[in-house]
Amino acid sequence: MPTFFLLFSFILGTLIGSFLNVVALRYNTGMTLKGRSKCFSCGKDLTWHELIPIFSFLYQKGCCKKCKSKISWQYPIIEFIGGVLFVYIFYMFPPTSMESSFLTLFYLFISCILLVIVIYDVKHKIIPDPLVYLFAVIAFLKLFISPDLTLSIPSMSDIIAGPVLALPFVLLWLFSKGTWMGLGDAKLVLGIGWTLGLVSAISAIILAFWIGAVISVAWMFIVFKKVKARYEIPFGPYLVIGMYLVLFFGIKVIDFSSLLYF
């Protein structure tokens, strides 16, 4: 794939990431997406050159030009993640035909949904139902569309992947009365199972637990100088990271494929 196209993909991803930042920050606040972006501290309307993804943050040294209040690192980080996601999606699933373009659009669309879910979960430690249901429904419907864009009947393992993998999370939520695991994580796993399939989604979930454990323990030592037994950690972002590691790099933690013949 030409370098200029990958560069265009990155720029497009940062622009979309910037917009998704606004969506996540305004979601459930009563604010609409209409109107110009403002500084949260002084209310100054932001000009176009203050809204260039990543560059504006670096140029302004992370501060509002008027009131000098700090701008959250969330903005350039999400913009950069959006750019990287778009590059990988266009590289791994290039839109070279109508059929492949559908797959590209599918992964771009669910990536936008998942990015908003991750931002919201990190800030509020809750996964919004409308967004996670939308992700699950789109992933499920995708099962019935073949590579040549005709209707097809998915395998039984693909159909049950979502519910089977979500069930342990539901049980953890029930037995712990929501203290060990949120129900939103089960709903997220439902969509991940239908997106990756049963075997690959198991690897994604295992990776999510490993990465979540390492990062969470390291974070608690940095912040609290010890591991706290009762500390709420959003697990949704780790599930999403696990999903993309498997999707982009084909990581197999445990290969169950030889056990599945249906």
Is the distance from CB of 123 to CB of 73 less than 8 angstroms?
Answer: no
**Mean per-residue pLDDT of the chain:** 88
Find the radius of gyration of the CA atoms of the chain.
Answer: 20
Phi, psi torsion values for 257, nearest 5 degrees? -60, -35
Tens-place pLDDT, residues 32-79? 777 677 777 776 777 777 788 999 888 888 888 778 788 888 999 999
Is the distance from CB of 127 to CB of 120 less than 8 angstroms?
Answer: yes
The tokens describing 26, both together, are 């305004």
Angle between helices 236-249 and 98-124 (to 10 degrees): 150
- Bridge partner residues of 63 (DSSP): 70
pLDDT given at position 261 = 46
Q: What is the mean pLDDT of residues 202-224?
A: 88
Residue 257 has pLDDT above 60, yes or no: no
The tokens describing 152, both together, are 């097809």
Most confident by average pLDDT, 16-30, 101-115, 224-238: 101-115
Q: pLDDT tier at 229 (50, 70, 90 boundaries)? A: low
Residue 238 has pLDDT above 70, yes or no: yes
Residue 218 has pLDDT above 90, yes or no: no
Phi/psi region, residue 252 (left: phi>0; alpha: psi -120 to 50; beta: rest), is beta
Residue 195 has pLDDT above 90, yes or no: yes
pLDDT given at position 129 = 95
pLDDT given at position 262 = 45
Return the H-helix or E-strand segment holding 100. Answer: helix 98-124
Q: What is the mean pLDDT of residues 195-216?
A: 94
